[in-house]
Structure 1
Amino acid sequence: MSNQHSAPAPDFSAVPTLVGTRVTLVPLSLEHVPDLQRAVAEGDLWQTWYTRIPGPAEMTDAVQHRLDLNAAGEWVPWAIISHDSGEAVGMTSYLNIRADNRKLEIGSTWLAKSQQRTGINSDAKLLQLTHAFETLGCVAVEFRTHWHNQQSRAAIARLGAKQDGVLRNNDIWRDGTLRDTVVFSIIESEWPTVRLGLTEKVAGRAR
């Protein structure tokens, strides 16, 4: 008989601290609420009709909701901490976690307006994707966004994700309109090339 034991299955519900070049992703907590309230107030981000970003008055409830979902094993929520300021400048999460199929979605992400197109998003996604593919052993990682959110669609494409399709009338939106959801993904065979591209972006050598 062999004395070797199979490696334990990775914990898809764990919220590790992930340290990058420009940001650190730390487990989200209620202590981040004041920073996040200041961050979301830049440009009134929460008023964009095709997003679901909590406003300053909703931030405590929004953070607690993410913590509750983590306790239920459904989400993995992080605060995005800027190395320049030491403050939380946004949030991001794993969601739609399917550990049995080694798949998950990266979503519920937003950044303060001043932090957009600075390399911070690329660094955060590099951290999340590295953990998903290299620690959790994912075979695919999804991204989803509103059809009309052209900025988000372009940002996801710049990561190296490919568009899988459009789910028509997928959600009833908060104002009663219907959302078409655009689905993107990165699969494990594409990860080495995507990782190189993101590393170049974070280093400032690529747009």
Structure 2
Amino acid sequence: MLDLPTLSSNGIILKPLTLTHASDLVEACQDGELWKINVTSVPEPNKVIDYINTADSMPDRQAFVVIDERTGKAIGSTSFHDILPLTKRLEIGYTWYAKSYWQTHVNTTCKLMLLTYIFENLKYQTVGWRTDIENHRSQKAIERLGAKKDGIIRGNRVRRDGVISDTVMYSVLKSEWPQVKVELTNKLNKSY
């Protein structure tokens, strides 16, 4: 397993997710009733503790809580998962934020911090993302980060409603990271 750091930038803090964040995350997932979106992994409010315990028990997942430094409250979560130390590849996923933080600097800030840590500290070679083929909002967000679409894996995920669906895969390579970093930094500079 990786040692998860505490990262901070632009008023956002990422640190390891623990049960102490449960009550804030109950509130965060109710902001927009996000658990009702069939193509996401947002927990139902009464299942946040199970969500945290599941994240903690998965051998190839390490979860962060996303905290708004201004309020000190948890506003969402994101994770490293499918961690492959031999090939130096991992994915960022299980990402969600309270709806009032959508279309703000939060996602770009989080991804810039995580990508910097992955490529510059861990020295990994590839970062991947995956999303449901019907989750167009997530696909656009991943593409705005500078990730390239790798393709579609057919019939490999089960949605919340039990429907089997396809997954869209994306990635950024270490060789692409310098340009991606410049573009993400410029986006953040424009938003302040």
Q: CA RMSD in A?
A: 1.3
Cα 1:164/1:64, change in 2 over 3 Å: same
| SS of residue paired to 1:185 | strand
| 1:152 and 2:141 matched | no
Where has structure 1 moved over 6 Å in runs of 4 or more? none
When normalised by structure 2's length, the TM-score is 0.96
Is the counterpart of residue 64 in structure 1 residue 53 in structure 2?
yes
Partner of 1:117 in structure 2? Answer: 103
**Greater gyration radius:** 1
Structure 2 unaligned residues grouped into runs of 5+: none
Distance change (3 Å), C-alpha of 1:45 and 1:77? same
- CA distance in 1: counterparts of 2:129 and 2:65, whole angstroms: 18
User: What's the TM-score, normalizing by structure 1?
Assistant: 0.89
Partner in structure 1 of residue 29 of structure 2: 40
Aligned position for 1:4:
none
User: Could you give the per-residue CA deviations for residues 148-194 of structure 1, whole angstroms, max 9, x where no partner exists?
Assistant: 00000000000000100000111233322111100000001110011
> Which stretch shows the higher mean deviation, 184-193 or 164-173?
164-173
Shift of the 110–205 alpha-carbon distance from structure 1 to 2, 3 Å rule, reads closer
Aligned equivalents of 2:73 and 2:160: distance in 1? 30
Aligned positions, number: 192
Measured against aligned partners, the alpha-carbon deviations of 1:63-121 in whole angstroms (never above 9, x if no partner) come to 1111222xx4x212100011222111000000000001100000000000001111100
Taking every aligned residue pair, what percent have the same amino acid on both sides?
A: 39
| 113, 127, 136: which one aligns with 1:141 | 127
Alignment of 1:1-207 (within 5 A): 12-69=1-58, 72=59, 74-205=60-191
2:86 aligned counterpart, secondary structure: helix
1:137-156 deviation digits (Å, cap 9, x = unpaired): 11110000000000000000
- Is the partner of 2:54 in helix, strand or coil? helix
CA distance in structure 2 between the aligned counterparts of 1:204 and 1:77, rounded to whole angstroms? 29
Please tell me whether the aligned partners of residues 45 and 113 of structure 1 are also in contact (alpha carbons under 8 angstroms).
yes
Residue type of the alignment partner of 1:148: E
